[in-house]
C-alpha cells in the first residue's frame, strides 16, 4: 500500500472514530427527545407523502450507528500503522 493511501485511510479511521464518539455523546447528553425536537418535521417514513414529526425511535436508529463507526474507525486507525511497525496486536500467550 502506498504511503499517501495509508495515511489517508488512517486519518479517515480517526475521523470515523471521533464521529462515532460524538454520536454516543449526543445520545446521552441532550437525549434523543431533544434531538428529535431539533430535527422537527424532517422524518419521512414513506417515499411519497407528507413528512412527519421525528420521534425518539427515529433518532435512536440514527445515533446507534455510533458504535459501528467507533469499531470501524478504531480498527482502521490501529491497523494502518507506519510500515515496519505493523498492526497493533495483543500477545495473550503469557510471559514465562
Beta strands (DSSP E) in the chain are: none
**Mind listing the pLDDT tens digit for each residue in 4-38?**
888 888 888 889 888 888 888 877 888 777 877 87
User: What are the backbone dihedrals phi and psi of residue 47, each rounded to the nearest 5 degrees, phi first?
Assistant: -70, -40
Is residue 95 situated within a structural domain? no
Phi, psi of 30 (to 5 degrees): -75, -25
Determine, yes or no, domain membership for 11.
yes
68 lies in some domain: yes
Task: Please report whether residue 67 resides in a domain.
Answer: yes
Most confident of 1-15, 48-62, 80-94: 1-15
Report the number of distinct structural domains present in the chain. Answer: 1
Q: Is residue 31 part of a domain?
A: yes
- Answer for the pair 75, 67: CB distance below 8 angstroms, yes or no: no
- What are the φ/ψ torsions at residue 79 (nearest 5 degrees)? -80, -25
Report if residue 89 sits inside a domain: no
Amino acid at each position: 500500500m502506498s504511503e499517501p493511501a495509508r495515511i489517508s485511510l488512517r486519518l479517515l479511521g480517526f475521523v470515523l472514530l471521533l464521529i462515532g464518539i460524538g454520536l454516543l455523546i449526543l445520545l446521552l447528553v441532550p437525549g434523543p427527545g431533544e434531538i428529535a425536537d431539533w430535527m422537527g418535521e424532517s422524518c419521512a417514513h414513506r417515499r411519497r407523502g407528507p413528512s412527519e414529526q421525528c420521534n425518539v425511535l427515529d433518532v435512536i436508529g440514527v445515533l446507534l450507528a455510533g458504535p459501528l463507526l467507533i469499531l470501524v474507525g478504531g480498527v482502521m486507525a490501529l491497523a494502518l500503522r507506519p510500515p515496519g511497525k505493523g498492526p497493533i496486536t495483543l500477545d495473550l500467550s503469557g510471559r514465562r
